[in-house]
Amino acid sequence: MPTQFDPPSGTRDFLAAEFEKREWAFGVLRTVFASYGFEPLQTPAFERIDVLLGKYGDEADKLVFKILRRGEHEASGEADLALRYDLTVPLARVAAAYSSKLPMPYKRYAIGSVWRADRPGRGRYREFTQCDLDTLGTRSPLADAEVLCAHHDAVSGLGISDFSILLNSRLVLSGLLEVFAVPADLGPGVLTSLDKLDKLRPEEVIAELAERGLAAESAGELVATITAADAQDRIRTALKRSETGTAGLDEVDELLALVSAQVPAGRIAFTPRMVRGLSYYTGPIWELVAAGGVGSVGGGGRYDRLIAHLGGPDVPATGSSLGVERILMMVGEDDAAARRGRLDVAVPVLADDLAARSFTLAGAARAAGLRASVYLGSSGKLGKQLRWAADQGARWCLIYGPAERDAGMVTVRDLDSAEQESVPADAIAEFLAARAGACDA
């Protein structure tokens, strides 16, 4: 039951633990992408509305969050800006705006929020993070191999190993349509139906193909070929009858050879029935599929005409997008991330006139590289303050009460062992520096 204090429908508040986990994951991704020579790019949350609308069709346009004009124009009810729907339209605009400043080919990564007014559901949000890798300005298959391997390494880097990569090519699909004599106007619909072969039974897909107007014989033969035990061999043989199909097979085999040294054997496979819904792909396409029913966690391909279609320059391009939200659900609690959110040193405050001294002790701990805080509550009791220290996950308490003041000492309590030792007040910085070193190791 949502309350007035919940975040808006489909959005989330990230408190400390979740935030740290996400930051850790994004850090891993950035490191992997930089290791391939991809540059970061960050664009504004909103774009002018004409930049955004009309690029992905009416259905997508309906999901765009539009921003009202301001001031005297607000009453018009018109929108002049809109929250970005993906990271590709802004990339096309940037490619047009800074063409002379950007290296060509331009290899960029972007990790950022996008907004879609979709119906929220499990793992589906209205504000979510996208993670895109794209290379603009080259037809080299090496560029396809780079984005594919970089996303592979990114998922691996997050500790996920139980996933596979389905590889295909739009040219293979075109070749299949040609060989099985699918009329051109039925092509897109036929591919959409074939894409369902991982969910529907073959007879159901054949029925759907017939409904779309495909001759019963073609439909049956097509599905039989794709679902056969020796589908790969049969499709490879069939495609030899088509020039486009042959080119597609070459493309797939070349990419398989390029990535073979970096993607473990068996993790990537030519998958002729894999279609990827989006019609803008022009060459190789791939999908990252996680085991355990999670399904697709990313994918991409070559899209040589999209950047121009989106209003950018007419450059060939290839790219891959990771479903970060799904992937994050697969990443376990990270110990290091959890630890980052905890204190090393807690400093009780045992009397008002000792508060300044406690504050200085916390400062000395920070100067030694430790995370430290004084007690800010209202209890003057040590027992209660020690419980606070334990709640904060602190390793040590620095106790400075009237007895310590009189003796010129600080009591250092190890909260794991409950052992205490007295350290001369003027030697505490040195003592903490030694502890900080041990803490790093």
- The residues in 13-32 that bind its own copies, with binding defined as CB under 8 A, are 13-16, 19-20, 23, 30
Q: What distance in Å separates the CA atoms of residue 299 and residue 289, rounded to the nearest whole number?
A: 9
Task: Give me the residues paired with residue 92 across strands.
Answer: none
DSSP 409-425: EEEEEETTT--EEEEEG
For 193, the 3-state DSSP assignment is helix
Do residues 82 and 53 touch, judged by C-beta distance below 8 A? yes
Q: Can residue 42 be called a binding residue for its own copies (CB under 8 A)?
A: yes
Q: Can residue 161 be called a binding residue for its own copies (CB under 8 A)?
A: no
> Which of 41, 89, 322, 386 lies at the binding interface for its own copies (CB under 8 A)?
41
Q: List binders of its own copies among 185-244 (CB under 8 A).
A: none
Q: Can residue 8 be called a binding residue for its own copies (CB under 8 A)?
A: yes
Q: Can residue 258 be called a binding residue for its own copies (CB under 8 A)?
A: yes
Q: Can residue 264 be called a binding residue for its own copies (CB under 8 A)?
A: no
Q: Can residue 79 be called a binding residue for its own copies (CB under 8 A)?
A: yes
Q: What are phi and psi of 167, to 5 degrees?
A: -120, 135
Q: Can residue 62 be called a binding residue for its own copies (CB under 8 A)?
A: yes
Q: What distance in Å separates the CA atoms of residue 422 and residue 424, rounded to the nearest whole number?
A: 7
Q: Can residue 36 be called a binding residue for its own copies (CB under 8 A)?
A: yes
Residues 6+ apart with CB under 8 A from 6: none
Q: Can residue 67 be called a binding residue for its own copies (CB under 8 A)?
A: yes
Q: Can residue 425 be called a binding residue for its own copies (CB under 8 A)?
A: no
Cβ closer to its own copies: 50 or 198?
50
> Which of 378, 406, 418, 441 lies at the binding interface for its own copies (CB under 8 A)?
378
Closest of 42, 69, 277, 264 to residue 156, by C-alpha: 264
Q: What distance in Å separates the CA atoms of residue 60 and residue 63, rounded to the nearest whole number?
A: 5
Q: Can residue 426 be called a binding residue for its own copies (CB under 8 A)?
A: no
Cβ closer to its own copies: 109 or 180?
109
Q: Stretches 47-55, 164-172, 185-193, 212-220: which one binds its own copies (CB under 8 A)?
A: 47-55
Do residues 174 and 252 touch, judged by C-beta distance below 8 A? no
> Which of 356, 390, 427, 434 lies at the binding interface for its own copies (CB under 8 A)?
356
Q: List binders of its own copies among 94-113 (CB under 8 A).
A: 94, 96-98, 101-105, 107-108, 113
Q: Can residue 119 be called a binding residue for its own copies (CB under 8 A)?
A: no
Sequence-ordered alpha helix ranges (H) in 166-212: 170-179, 187-194, 202-211
> Which of 48, 201, 309, 381 lies at the binding interface for its own copies (CB under 8 A)?
48
Residues 6+ apart with CB under 8 A from 333: 17, 21
> Which of 86, 132, 134, 146 lies at the binding interface for its own copies (CB under 8 A)?
146
Cβ closer to its own copies: 239 or 347?
347
CB of 170 to its own copies, least distance (A): 21
CB atoms within 10 A of CB 163: 20
Q: Can residue 34 be called a binding residue for its own copies (CB under 8 A)?
A: yes
Using CB under 8 A, count the residues that bind its own copies: 100
Name the E strands within 260-330: 268-270, 284-290, 295-302, 317-322
How many Å separate Cα 274 from the centre of its chain?
22
Q: What distance in Å separates the CA atoms of residue 57 and residue 3, rounded to the nearest whole number?
A: 35
Q: Can residue 267 be called a binding residue for its own copies (CB under 8 A)?
A: no
